[in-house]
Amino acid sequence: MARRALWPDNRGPISPKEFCEAVTNLWGKWRGASMPNVPSRIGLAVSGGADSMALAFLCKQLISERLIPDLHVKPFIVDHLAREGSTEEAHKVADWLKDLGFDPSILTLSWPGGADPSSFTDFETVARKLRYRALGQACKEYNTRALFLGHHLDDNIETVLSRIARGQRQATGLKGVSSVGHIPECHGIYGVAESGSIVQLVNAQRTAYAAGARDGYGQGSKRLQPEHSSLTGPPHHFLGDLTLPISQGGIYLFRPLNSFSKSRLTSTCLQNNVQFVNDRTNFDPTHTSRNTLRHLLSNDMLPRALQAPSILRLIANSQRISDELIEETNGFLETVRVLKLDLRTGSLVVEFPSPRVMEDIGMAQDVPIKDSPPRLQKILAMALRSLVDIVAPAPKSEVPLDKFTIALQAVFPALKPSSDQASAPLTQGVFTVGGVKFEPVTLPRRAKVISLRSFIPRRQSDGYGSNTWLLTRPPYSRRVPRPVATYHLQLPNLSIAKDDTTNPIWSPWQLWDNRYWIRVRAEPANLKHPAETDSFEYNGMSIPIVVRSMEGPDLADVRGRLVKYSWFLSSENIDPNAMKSDGPSFKTLNSNRQLDYLLHRNAPDGLRYTIPVIAEAAGERRVLAFPSFGYRMPVTLTRRMGDNNASADHWTFNWQINYKHIDLDLLKLVSWDLDMENSQGAPFSRT
């Protein structure tokens, strides 16, 4: 059954130059003006339909017509195993792609428990997740960050109609499908979901004392001069907070055909003898609700307001409204000042503009935020949601904006409450929204070295003074299991290769608490000094450890062990700073004073029970390290071997840790003192 075009289109097939312009425009918007505006390696998701086969043909034309001559293209065909003959069809599509000169790969989905796909009542949902995960992993292995899809203009119209049918009324939901975006359904897969490369934050406006400088009268003085440097120099708001890199990268979806109609894609295939297959189920109006909409559209059975030309105008108008909202939100975010961003604890201190300043953006001094114009409320809610994303133990926030009503009233109180509000409480203390705890704080004027401890709780009153808030991960709920990531430190088999200790392998990356990417590996311990011979003992080819949150009993145990260690150092007259190691150069906690300084200043009160620790996986579950701070406990891991455990080898461990993905454009908007250094190479190591 042929599918009728949604509107007459006599332009015929898509030319290679048209497609090249669409690709380069899309690529340039994604990469930025300073980056190459053409891709070098891309993956293609090919189903065998006219859309994806036209996409494959046009990509081939980019190479053969020398429009992008150095382009490398890898097509991927997903075999869902959902119906009889799917495997044969996948191989047939692969043959067509080979005829075009490609080397395609078939990705066969593995269904949970080996179950029959037809047995899933939520087949479409499960299939979508499995499909994107397979495609994401394949792109990672092919070493490309770009996956091209064959979605087209008609698909966009159907998507918006589907959203209207579900009751969507917001412009952000009616602007259609984005032409570029992160791959969905792959959360927690390193190198696929917003990870794989890093950005290191540095302070771009660090100041240093210039000794011996002269003023205009020839008198000696010390004055501040700006200096661009890394995290060294005098005390500063950020101090050591930025030692962790931020995860970037991952796989992106590109839809270069978003502006082309289905009829032009079909024409491209027909006029260039490109074979394709029609999935008959796509034309059965009783099969899915989307098929029903497709049938109504193609047969002019919808009212004029819901026909294709009207929907296209709606998409364009919604895109314009959305762009304006984003621009105004960004304008407000530029007035927000970051006082502290501590990646080690995942905490953020921001200073919002006072109500006096906010008059400039339309908030009257005597009108509560809930009575302010809806557009202003939406802008402020979008800004808060963006800040929540920096801290939240979750993927990018999709919390509805109406959930921020209480937050808006608390953060932006009226400067002059009206008489009918005089009896109402002017304060809103600590609250949680979007998985982030908001707490009003203030910074004493005399504070010089600014740690989290420097900020003290305050009462959010009538908006006078500094409007400063601390955003952190809330305490863990007793009703929900705490996040735990399990690792195994792989050890060599010394009975086979006794000297094979030089190449320990890294564990896979794991995302702990949706905030920290962490991996570990065993490394030979240096036992030149007896200070750490009171070790933890294990058997076998691996040592099981976990990353978990710190708990109340941990502190007492850690303190007791540090007392013993400090006593040993003192009794032996050993200077811990003079102890050298041939192994990883992480820092070793050597006293409770050092521990107290670390936690008191940087993880005060309940915040310390949300930081990650590396600990034993079983037994006493003792803490071995504080990875986000780069500190380990003074322990050695000993493996007993042989029939009577007579022989032993000694190990320590290393780790790498990155903070979760943060929108860099957001940081540029709100952070006045930060610069960024990109790295596409090996992730940051805590060594």
Q: Are 333 and 197 in contact, with CB atoms under 8 Å apart? A: no
510 lies in the same domain as 609? yes
Closest CA to 412 of 307, 515, 332: 332
Last residue of a domain, one of 450, 472, 494: 472
pLDDT averaged over consecutive 10-residue blocks of the chain (687 residues)?
Answer: 52 94 92 70 97 98 95 97 91 98 97 83 90 98 96 92 82 85 96 94 48 31 29 43 88 97 95 90 69 78 84 91 94 91 94 77 73 90 96 87 90 64 54 95 75 87 75 94 95 64 84 98 73 68 94 93 86 69 69 92 94 92 94 87 70 93 90 61 35
Residue 86: phi and psi, rounded to 5, are -65, -35
Domain count, the chain: 3
* Residue 377, in any domain of the structure: yes
489 lies in the same domain as 433? no
444 lies in the same domain as 546? no
* Residue 531, in any domain of the structure: yes
* Residue 579, in any domain of the structure: yes
Q: What is the pLDDT of residue 498?
A: 54
* Residue 375, in any domain of the structure: yes
The per-residue b/e assignment along 39-74, b for 16 or more CB within 10 angstroms, e otherwise, is beebbbbbbbbbbbbbbbbbbbbbbeeebbeebebb
Last residue of a domain, one of 427, 445, 472: 472
* Residue 234, in any domain of the structure: no
Torsion (CA) 580, 585, 591, 597 in degrees, nearest 10: 140
415 lies in the same domain as 507? no
Q: What is the pLDDT of residue 633?
A: 92
DSSP 137-184: HHHHHHT-SEEE----HHHHHHHHHHHHHTT---GGGSS---SEEEPS
129 lies in the same domain as 274? yes
Q: What is the pLDDT of residue 238?
A: 52
Q: What is the pLDDT of residue 38?
A: 84
CATH code, domain carrying 180: 3.40.50.620
* Residue 678, in any domain of the structure: no
Q: What is the pLDDT of residue 548?
A: 98
Whole-angstrom CA distances from 535 to 508, 531, 532, 557 are 26, 10, 6, 15
122 lies in the same domain as 184? yes
157 lies in the same domain as 82? yes
Last residue of a domain, one of 472, 506, 540: 472
Tens of pLDDT along 547-603?
999 999 999 999 999 998 888 887 877 776 666 554 555 788 989 999 999 999 999
Specify the pairing of strand 41-45 against strand 146-148. Answer: parallel
User: The domain containing residue 519 runs over which residues?
Assistant: 485-662
* Residue 489, in any domain of the structure: yes
537 lies in the same domain as 647? yes
H helices of 373-488, in order, are 374-391, 405-411
512 lies in the same domain as 642? yes
420 lies in the same domain as 564? no
57 lies in the same domain as 179? yes
83 lies in the same domain as 112? yes
* Residue 328, in any domain of the structure: no
